[in-house]
Amino acid sequence: MDAHLLVTVILFGPLIGATIAGLFGRRIGDTPSRAITTGFLLLSAVLSWVVFSQWTWGGLEPFTLTYAPFIQVGNFLSSWSFRLDGLSAVMLVVVTTVSSLVHVYSWGYMADDDSKPRFFAYLSLFTFAMLALISAADFMQLFFGWEGVGLASYLLIGFWYHKPTANAAAIKAFVVNRVGDFGFALGIMTVFWSLGSIQFAQIFPLVAAHANDAWAFAGQSFRLMDLACTLLFVGAMGKSAQFFLHTWLPDAMEGPTPVSALIHAATMVTAGVYMVCLLSPMFEYAPFAKHVVVVIGAITALFAATVGLVQNDIKRVIAYSTCSQLGYMFMAAGVGAYQASMFHLFTHAFFKALLFLGAGSVIHAMAHEQDMRRYGGLAKYLPVTFGVMTIGTIAITGLGIPGLEIGFAGFYSKDSIIHAAYASGVAGDPLGYFAFVMGVFVALLTAFYSWRLAFFTFNGHARWTSEDLEHHWHNRDHAHGDDHGHADAAHAETHSEPDHGGHQHLPHESPWSMRLPLIALSIGAIAAGFFFHEKFIGAEQIEFWKGAIFTGASNHVLAEHELPVLIEQAPLIAGVIGLLIAAYVYLLKEGLGARLAAQRGPLYVFFYNKWFFDELYQATFVRAAKFLGDLFWKGGDQKIIDGLGPDGVSAVSYQVGRGAGRIQSGYVYHYAFVMLLGVAAILSYALWAWNS
């Protein structure tokens, strides 16, 4: 089948499904709405794999398909288009595969919700916006998709709008992303100002000739390429929840669990990573911007991992894990290993979606309870969920055998990032060594909090009773671990075995509509790294990417290097240490973690409160914004504008008019008397003027 037709169906299929379900969902009913949106997504996913196969093994060449003009103002030209290259081919399968599985999963998870047509319409709209983003041939369509996923995320995070916490989380995500998008828009303006175009095909060949162009401002000189790339990366920081602009991501858990999987695994948060890799021809000539990317990525990986160590909400642990893994991806891009960054994005989509949807299966089984302190001993009740989440845990911790190159997905992609960072340091960039050390340490933390989640949830004694499950908490405000604050840690040590007598409400596996996507994703978490590492980062990478990613002549971080044995095995050693510590704390010495948490040491409090970023932003930006709002409202609007307007000149005019109106009595003799007074006044003035 013609590739042009295939990509057209892939792009517009989700939009058609979203339109039908969104506009006619109540009329056609729940089941047709779900069937139409899911059907279009499954079709897009199948066709995406067809296109990806043609790209990988069939010799398909890059092309751009233009549909219609979009904006034309002078030299500013933009068109609706579909750009197919190595980057977009990878993102097609990532976005449509995860999104279609999330649609299928949602049939079971959202079965009791009354707004299924609206939910499935939002999911499909989200997918279309992401597809528009990844297929853009210029900055304008990229920005359209960028804002589209922001809008759709706002709608999905706040889907349960009757909950104040969901509304607050949706607004927070929207506002924080507006901060990043301001920098992104400035970066696009800088590119157009300096290179005269927003078309990628026109910009990239011009970069080398303009690499040293500078902008003089306030007595200082700024390299335009560094300035443009840094501003564009600010947009990526917001969209991909990097340090300083990360605060919206954990609160996005207020949306339904399928939303969390979609946002965190395949779509919105990966947009920033994709954008940096897409703009590799620019970043390769922007050394300062690349250093910013490395530092922010490394700090984000560390920050999120430390916070994930102590969270009790199962979804928040995985959310901070996403934030940390995104830091890895940016670290890779910052040291010039764009291919490794995209490879980790690809593998991460499978095991992170698997972990989120697996967590959703646990939550479903536990009557919407999300606090891991009320789990335990679930392996025998949820064998399929236990198995697939164990696969996801092995994949994210990167367990494998160096040398033999045998392991799950994360082993190939995460190790390639850490090794590339070390190679960057050897090549003369000290930040490469910094990224390497941070990457290894974060690998240890990742192993600890990932296995902590697995052991705390599925192993040990049950910290729940059958009576707990009789109460189906539809309002998940009561289900978040954070909402309970620092609940008595001794609760975590209360090992109440479920009573198996009589009629019991025991955890049970989710329906097959939820289990089948988990099984499919587990296959990707196992095999994606093994089957594709040669294509993405190995001997076949040049043929696979076909110029979609540019690396400078001095960039050899992914070349074959003879690494010291300790360096090569460092990620594995770190992962095993993290696993052993978690096993000791949560299996061998069950209850030790709760006792340590109960001591509320300074480091625990610091990590538990997320480095106090929310409090810091509340005390500075939020209060400052409220102060300015009150100042302009009470001082400017009420006192100045209203004081001079409705309460000032207008009020005086009203009172004068009201007083003058009293003179209009309607009696003729009153008017005659006034006329007589007027005549007397005129005669008096005339006599005075005559005599003078």
111-127, pLDDT tens digit by residue? 888 889 999 999 999 99
122 contacts 70 by C-beta, under 8 angstroms: no
Res. 484: pLDDT tops 60: no
Task: Work out the end-to-end distance of the chain between its first and last CA atoms, rounded to an integer number of angstroms.
Answer: 109
53-74, pLDDT tens digit by residue? 999 998 899 999 999 999 988 8
The per-residue pLDDT for 41 is: 96
Whole-number Å distance between alpha carbons of 25 and 19: 9
183-222, pLDDT tens digit by residue? 999 999 999 999 999 999 999 999 999 988 898 888 888 8
553-575, pLDDT tens digit by residue? 888 898 877 889 999 999 999 99
Res. 489: pLDDT tops 70: no
234 contacts 184 by C-beta, under 8 angstroms: yes
Per the model's pLDDT, the better-predicted residue between 357 and 472 turns out to be: 357
16-52, pLDDT tens digit by residue? 999 999 999 999 999 999 999 999 999 999 999 999 9
The per-residue pLDDT for 215 is: 87
Per the model's pLDDT, the better-predicted residue between 483 and 341 turns out to be: 341
- Count CB atoms within 10 A of the CB of residue 167: 15
Range from 214-218, 294-298, 514-518 carrying the lowest mean pLDDT: 214-218
Mean pLDDT of all residues in 134-163: 93
3-state secondary structure of 510: coil
Whole-number Å distance between alpha carbons of 535 and 615: 45
What is the pLDDT confidence band of residue 471, given thresholds at 50, 70 and 90?
Answer: low
Mean pLDDT of the chain: 88
3-state secondary structure of 433: helix
The per-residue pLDDT for 506 is: 80
Whole-number Å distance between alpha carbons of 209 and 207: 6
Locate 594 and state its tokens: 């709760």
451-461, pLDDT tens digit by residue? 999 999 999 88
Structure letter (DSSP) for residue 475:
S
Q: Where are the alpha helices (DSSP H) in 537-564?
A: 541-545
Res. 665: pLDDT tops 80: no
Enumerate residues 6+ apart whose C-beta is below 8 A from 580.
none
Looking from the CA of 470 toward its CB, the CA atoms found within 13 Å total 7
Closest CA to 435 of 454, 452, 414: 414
What is the pLDDT confidence band of residue 1, given thresholds at 50, 70 and 90?
Answer: low
Whole-number Å distance between alpha carbons of 480 and 114: 22
Highest mean pLDDT among 264-268, 397-401, 556-560: 397-401
What is the pLDDT confidence band of residue 492, given thresholds at 50, 70 and 90?
Answer: very low
The per-residue pLDDT for 252 is: 84
What is the pLDDT confidence band of residue 320, given thresholds at 50, 70 and 90?
Answer: very high
Whole-number Å distance between alpha carbons of 604 and 600: 6
Would you say the C-alpha torsion 608, 609, 611, 614 has a positive or negative sign?
positive
Q: What is the pTM of this model?
A: 0.88
What is the pLDDT confidence band of residue 483, given thresholds at 50, 70 and 90?
Answer: very low
Res. 133: pLDDT tops 90: yes
